[in-house]
């Protein structure tokens, strides 16, 4: 007899495990299937362990710059093994936390590889044991994995994906980072602060190409100042592991191919959704460029099969996955007769994006260029951290906040920040956008002093010619 549930969630990342908890809160009988570790990429190999590594790099940076604060540290040094060990322990703590949450919420955990065999049917294989499960609804939350270069597979020795870069076999001396999205820039920042000589290569005309152009420009200046080499409009033609490192052939904007050697390379050119061998083809589930196509509630084209998180496409972010998980769980509960839940479709315009490099980057909504492209007449405000007392006191006076408003209605179209603590501050603007506030309410808001967040207020004031401290 197959175990029977209201809902089976395939994959336990921040999409899957959050969906399972919400469904259980709503009284559904829920199971979750995981082939690796509870918590998915985010908790085990993504968001959390990278932030632990970056924290070590930040502390090390302060140690090496202690004199700036009137302090002295004798010969600062580190053990890479211990830095990595701390990061793995943090990941382990969160993995255990998810285990506890599954227990608390009475979610049945099935370990093994899951495949949907028919509508409402899923088999889980672990070793030579197969368990058959049935459910009224199934959520696919299988996530994504690193994209390999077509001409050089990551070997874990010299050519790394994010997984290798998080548990490095050795400290790189000369590192090539291929791709300048959030993952590439975070690893570039980590290894640069730990003493490696870092080069970032990016095919497009600027690094962090999804961010506002002024943020990219600022980051290029800062990272270059910190010692990195940044090559934009440069395509990697070839990458070969050698006995002592890697050899890269890169075609620059002038069409010339330059060859350079590095000790290691990190490939951060994007991700591939995990859609293979889970039964999607047999059910005729529609995909779009590899990602499962869903409506704003996570419904696929097949009744009773839902999908959330990275497997459904951009933005590939944990909080987007979790939010979709809650929406799908509520929509399923509603479909099963719960009249008290009223899920809202996902609004992708209000999902913040954060990069935890040094300096940090955070944004929400439209960039200035995208707002203009969309036909808005804009009012733009910009406030530099040098005008902010707290930033100066912290020794972090480099950064800025930029806000983009609809000149006609005062709607906050987008906010873009770079500098210390901005990944914590962005939420203020996310709430503002969610509540559909205009410049008037933001100007009326009282910001605590001294905080770097006062720059958020000043940026709004600047958009209307009223900034006080510049």
> CB of 37: closest distance to ligand FAD in angstroms?
6
With beta carbons less than 8 A apart as the criterion, state whether 470 and 387 touch. Answer: yes
Pick from 47, 102, 177, 425 the residue near ligand FAD by CB under 6 A: 47
Pick the closest to residue 115 from 251, 379, 305, 266 (CA basis): 305
Helix or strand run (H / E) with residue 84: helix 80-104
Q: Is 426 in the site for ligand FAD (CB under 6 A)?
A: no
Q: In terms of CB distance, is 55 or 319 closer to ligand FAD?
A: 319
Part in contact with ligand FAD (CB under 6 A); list of ranges 54-62, 318-326, 330-338, 376-384? 318-326
Q: Is 275 in the site for ligand FAD (CB under 6 A)?
A: no
Pick from 21, 208, 318, 401 the residue near ligand FAD by CB under 6 A: 318
- DSSP labels, 300-340: -SSTTEEE-GGGG-SS--HHHHHHHHHHHHHHHHHHTT-SS
Pick from 34, 202, 421, 454 the residue near ligand FAD by CB under 6 A: 34
String marking each residue 152-191 x if it binds ligand FAD according to CB under 6 A: ----------x--------------------x--------
Running DSSP on this structure, what letter comes out for residue 3?
Answer: E
> CB of 357: closest distance to ligand FAD in angstroms?
11
Q: In terms of CB distance, is 318 or 391 closer to ligand FAD?
A: 318
Distance between CA atoms of residues 384 and 401, nearest Å: 7
Joined together, the tokens standing for residue 344 give 């809202």
Q: In terms of CB distance, is 162 or 376 closer to ligand FAD?
A: 162
Pick from 24, 46, 264, 419 the residue near ligand FAD by CB under 6 A: 46
Distance between CA atoms of residues 142 and 131, nearest Å: 19
Q: Is 142 in the site for ligand FAD (CB under 6 A)?
A: yes
Helix or strand run (H / E) with residue 53: helix 47-64
Q: Is 40 in the site for ligand FAD (CB under 6 A)?
A: yes
Total residues binding ligand FAD (CB under 6 A): 36
- DSSP labels, 121-148: EEEEEETTEEEEEEEEEEEE---EEEPP
Pick from 33, 94, 178, 461 the residue near ligand FAD by CB under 6 A: 33
Pick the closest to residue 297 from 289, 287, 306, 285 (CA basis): 306
Q: Which segments of 336-421 are extended strands (E)?
A: 353-355, 360-365, 378-384, 400-406, 412-419
Q: Are strands 108-111 and 30-34 parallel, antiparallel or unpaired?
A: parallel
Known catalytic membership, residue 449: yes
Q: Are strands 400-406 and 378-384 parallel, antiparallel or unpaired?
A: antiparallel
Distance of CA 49 to the CA centre of its chain: 12
Which of 323, 449, 457, 469 is catalytic? The answer is: 449
Part in contact with ligand FAD (CB under 6 A); list of ranges 42-50, 221-229, 254-262, 329-337? 42-50
Q: In terms of CB distance, is 183 or 269 closer to ligand FAD?
A: 183
Q: Is 14 in the site for ligand FAD (CB under 6 A)?
A: yes
Give the active site residues: 449
Binding site for ligand FAD (CB under 6 A): 10-16, 33-36, 40-42, 46-47, 50, 113-114, 141-144, 162, 183, 274, 278, 309-311, 316-319, 321, 356
């Amino acid at each position: 007899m197959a175990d029977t549930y209201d809902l089976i969630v395939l994959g336990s990342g921040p999409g899957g495990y959050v969906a399972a908890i919400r469904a259980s809160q709503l009284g559904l009988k829920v199971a979750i299937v995981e082939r690796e570790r509870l918590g998915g990429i985010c908790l085990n190999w993504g968001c959390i362990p990278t932030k632990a590594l970056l924290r070590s790099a930040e502390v090390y940076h302060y140690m090496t710059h202690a004199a700036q604060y009137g302090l002295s540290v004798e010969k600062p040094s580190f053990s890479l093994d211990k830095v990595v060990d701390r990061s793995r322990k943090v990941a382990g703590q969160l993995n255990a936390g998810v285990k506890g949450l599954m227990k608390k919420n009475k979610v049945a955990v099935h370990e093994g590889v899951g495949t949907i065999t028919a509508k409402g049917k899923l088999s889980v294989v672990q070793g030579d044991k197969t368990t058959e499960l049935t459910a009224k609804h199934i959520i696919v939350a299988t996530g994504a994995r690193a994209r390999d270069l077509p001409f050089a597979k990551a070997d874990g020795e010299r050519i790394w994906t994010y997984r290798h870069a998080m548990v490095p076999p050795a400290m790189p001396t000369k590192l090539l980072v291929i791709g300048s999205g959030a993952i590439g820039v975070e690893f570039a920042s980590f290894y640069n602060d730990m003493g490696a000589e870092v080069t970032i290569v990016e095919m497009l005309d600027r690094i962090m190409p999804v961010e506002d152009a002024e943020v990219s420009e600022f980051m290029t200046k800062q990272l270059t100042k910190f010692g990195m080499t940044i090559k934009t409009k440069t395509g990697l033609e070839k990458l070969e592991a050698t006995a002592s490192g890697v050899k890269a052939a890169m075609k620059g904007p002038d069409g010339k191919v330059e060859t350079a050697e590095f000790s290691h390379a990190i490939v951060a050119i994007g991700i591939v959704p995990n859609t293979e061998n889970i039964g999607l083809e047999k059910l005729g589930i529609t995909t779009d460029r590899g990602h499962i196509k869903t409506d704003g509630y996570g419904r696929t084209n097949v009744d009773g099969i839902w999908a959330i998180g990275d497997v459904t496409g951009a933005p590939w972010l944990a909080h987007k996955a979790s939010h979709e998980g809650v929406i799908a769980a509520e929509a399923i509960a509603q479909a099963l007769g719960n009249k008290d839940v009223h899920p809202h479709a996902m609004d992708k315009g209000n999902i913040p994006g954060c990069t935890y490099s040094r300096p940090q980057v955070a944004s929400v909504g439209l960039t200035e260029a995208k707002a203009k492209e969309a036909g808005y007449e804009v009012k733009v405000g910009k406030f530099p951290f040098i005008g902010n007392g707290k930033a100066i006191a912290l020794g972090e006076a480099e950064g800025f906040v930029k806000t983009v408003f609809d000149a006609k209605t005062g709607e906050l179209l987008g906010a873009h920040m770079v500098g210390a603590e901005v990944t914590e501050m962005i939420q203020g603007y996310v709430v503002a956008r969610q509540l559909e506030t205009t410049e008037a309410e933001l100007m009326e808001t009282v910001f605590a002093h001294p905080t770097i967040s006062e720059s958020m207020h000043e940026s709004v004031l600047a958009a209307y010619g009223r900034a006080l401290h510049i």
